[in-house]
Amino acid sequence: MIIFEQIFKMKKYLLFIALSAVAFTAKANCDNVKPFTVVVDRGHDSVDQGAIVDSESEYEILSSLVAQLTGEVKDNLNVIYHNPTGVQLTIDERAAQINALKPDLVISVHMGSSKNGPRQAAIVLNDKNSSFERSQEYAVKLINHLAQDSYFSTVRTEITGVALLEKINAPAFMLEIGNMNAKRDRYYLQTNGAKRVSVNFTAFLNELN
């Protein structure tokens, strides 16, 4: 009886060891997965505030929007909001700071400033970026998600020579959301639009990696 008891206890002990080993291996596997780092760069800073229309600045609207942009993301995603306090930076300083974060994807968020036009978002790429093709692949994913918001009648892409994108050593694009010259867009992004954009942006992030 005593022997049985000991064997039984030993079995329980062994089972405990076995389970701990499984738990440890699972954790070790998790720790080995390199997180996917997305750097969100809000266009402009407290000195260069971008477009200013009816005493509303692109910088202020985007600061608030970008701060709400990311909802709950998967554990292996690391989202960094670059320069949240809006320190004035040159393009080279901005690029150097972002590259030091070793990002897997960089998204620079701006608002458009066309004269008029549809309610649109745009993805702006630069074909001189060293990861141009992967930038395009990520851009397509983001477009698919942003198009879920019926507010935006178009989500278009364009390729221009945006200097920052060329200096980033990772896939990168600019997201131009709404139009500073359209009062309705400024209003939308400062009211219920911020939440809608955030839901779609977060779904996009969770599809990465």
Binding site for Zn ion (CB under 5 A): 43, 50, 110
Beta carbon nearer to Zn ion, 103 or 178: 178
Closest contact distance (angstroms) between CB of 79 and Zn ion is 21
Tokens of 185: 């867009």
Beta carbon nearer to Zn ion, 77 or 146: 146
Tokens of 159: 């390729």
Q: How far is CA 156 from CA 87, 90, 118, 144, in A?
A: 30, 28, 11, 11
Beta carbon nearer to Zn ion, 45 or 149: 45
Asked if 125 and 132 touch (Cβ cutoff 8 Å), the reply is: yes
Asked if 109 and 67 touch (Cβ cutoff 8 Å), the reply is: no
Beta carbon nearer to Zn ion, 77 or 109: 109
Closest contact distance (angstroms) between CB of 62 and Zn ion is 8
Closest contact distance (angstroms) between CB of 16 and Zn ion is 58
CA distance 97 to 82: 8
Residue of this chain nearest to Zn ion (CB atom): 110
What is the distance, to the nearest Å, from the Cα of residue 196 to the centroid of all Cα atoms in its chain? Answer: 15
Closest contact distance (angstroms) between CB of 110 and Zn ion is 3
